[in-house]
Chain A
Amino acid sequence: MANPVQYQYHPDHFKNSEPAKYKAEALPPGHMLINIGPQHPSTHGVLRLEVITDGEIVLDVVPHLGYLHRCFEKHAENLTYQQTIPFVDRLDYVAAMNNEHIWCLGVEKMLGITDKVPARVEYIRVLVAELNRIASHFVAVGTYAMDIGAFTPFLWLMRDREHILRLLEWVCGARMLYNYIWIGGLYYDLPVGFEERCSEFLRYLKPKLKELEDLVIENKIFVDRTAGVGVLPLDLAINYGVTGPMLRGSGLAYDLRRIDGYSVYPELDFEVPVGRGQMGAKGDCWDRSWVRVQECHQSVYIAEQCLQRLTTDLKRSRDFDPKAAVPKKVRPPKGDYYVRGETPRGELGFFFRADGRADVPFRCKARSTCFVNLSVLPEISKGVMIADLIAIIGSIDFILGEVDR
């Protein structure tokens, strides 16, 4: 019979398991060690920052991670490829469709069944992924505006994001963690009437995006808080492996949807917005936010093209089976694979080693976007004010579920 009491008190159990890198008593006079997080709203989850300051000036930042660690990679080694999809959802939980999409494309590439996936399935995948991308950027910009003191944009963006979540809930039954995209297919076809409702929503959304630009991006207070702050030069960004809107904000049109041309993106027309330093310096916090809002416009445009195809030549039919190409057994041939794709935050990659004998990967590694993007934080926040540090953290737009895995 197990002891129902999980925890026995002992004074030794209260030792600090993650000591600070700096010793407060060893700092020179006037310098101070401030601990921000892990429970702090502006760290967007459970990130702990050890900050060394001289008055208001930040001298060094040491991030401490792992408060949400659950060893995704160990789980993936013990589950089949299909069973891992719900875990993949929980990496970047505000853009779960994008994660699933990349995981499934990767496994399909390993199996060599990429060509067998029906075109309608692939267009539905891109449609829901782009809707999720808009929702994800809304969270990024909305919480960022709230971090630096504006509450209205957060409420307005959450209102519009709610429409997207309800559409996706209609599609698969869940609001945020979908398990909708399967290896070789989809859980189910789009519900009847979805295309019409979605077009209606996109018509509603377009003026709201203009409103968002007026309310946040062009707002004088927002510009004053973000322009010229946290400048990330392009060479530094590449050296730190930074990708996604952060890298594009620094001026490089590096979008894997365009460069790798995976899925049906080569058939779709869209632009890759890049930061130009319109308000301050190129690669500042304002550029990163501006790129995100411009990407929302592009995602709306992509979604419209998908809907156009899905209502004409790829129209729903009675005999369409979204699970037709789902393999009975997922057992990739022996080898090492690295597959990648563009999530709203940048390059999400998966490294697989398959031994050819088992239905589970021998080793699976997630190249987390946010983990890599966050690693540049100490570099760009040296010498800024503490209030600007909060602005820089928000502009990186990381999700701790993906940082800690």
Chain B
Amino acid sequence: MSAPASFTTLVALLQDKFGTGIVLGTDEAGMPPAVLIAPDAIADVCRFLYEGEQTYFDLLSCITGLDNGPEAASMEVVYNLYSIPYNQHLMLKVVLPRNLPGQSLPVVPSVSSIWRTADWHEREVFDLVGIHFTGHPDLRRILLPDDWEGHPLRKDYREQEYYHGIWVRYGQERLEDESGKHQ
């Protein structure tokens, strides 16, 4: 087995394979080093990194969904990959436009056909942050109940008032005349 490919070699490998437009930015000093990838290509890039003999990122540690807030109007998905044979870390990032209220959720291709652990990670991101993964076999809410409203880890999240008749906004007083009306 050869030595692990350095970060610059990895970026060069990706650019050779998919063209220079694929890498939108790099952060070599990050812990671990990070590459910003064009959103539509993320599944192909992951498959290449998973199968490539010089890369072989066989363990997907974590998928994180981020909301940068309504002002920044963007959302991110961060993939933390690890290669067991090469003992190497890599962070992939994808930036998506944020949806306005009433619009459909931001969309990114699913990687659950490559690492099956991504199945639950992506369901969690969908549930808590509100990002839709195309090609996911079973995209349901995972931690919150099926009929919950909204995505709690969004920066502008405001919890619903009542859930099955239970007052949800703890610490905030209900108005007396409202308490009997909700259905």
Contact = CB atoms under 8 A, between A and B. Distances in A.
**Chain A interface, DSSP helix/strand/loop, else mixed:** mixed
A340 B81 CA distance: 12
Contact of A238 (B59, B87, B146, B179): B59
15 contacts: A7-B165, A17-B147, A66-B142, A66-B144, A71-B152, A77-B153, A239-B116, A241-B117, A254-B84, A338-B32, A351-B80, A363-B66, A365-B62, A372-B121, A375-B120
A66 B141 CA distance: 10
Contacts, number: 125
A404 B166 contact: no
B37 interface: no
Contacts of B66: 353, 363
A259 B85 CA distance: 11
A13 B165 contact: yes
A246 B32 CA distance: 26
A252 B59 CA distance: 13
B173 A336 contact: no
Given A3-B176, A335-B31, 17 more contacts: A2-B174, A8-B182, A9-B165, A12-B165, A12-B183, A66-B143, A66-B145, A77-B153, A239-B116, A240-B115, A241-B115, A336-B91, A338-B61, A339-B31, A351-B80, A363-B153, A365-B64
A109 B32 CA distance: 12
Contacts of B27: 335-336
A351 B64 contact: yes
Contacts of A74: 152-153
Interface in B82-125: 84, 87, 89, 91, 93, 115-117, 119-121, 124
Contacts of A1: 176
A14 B144 CA distance: 17
Interface residues of B, number: 50
A372 B115 CA distance: 12
Contact of B58 (A6, A7, A12, A238): A238
A377 to B, nearest CB: 11
A225 interface: no
Contacts of B164: 13-15, 17
**Interface core residue of B31, B138, B153, B173 (most chain A CB under 10 Å):** B31
Main secondary structure of the interface of B (DSSP, over half): loop
Contacts of A339: 31
B22 interface: no
Interface string A276-299: 000000000000000000000000
Contacts of A3: 174, 176, 179
Interface in A1-59: 1-3, 5-10, 12-15, 17-19, 21
Given A5-B179, A73-B153, A371 B120 contact: yes
A1 B178 CA distance: 12
B129 to A, nearest CB: 9
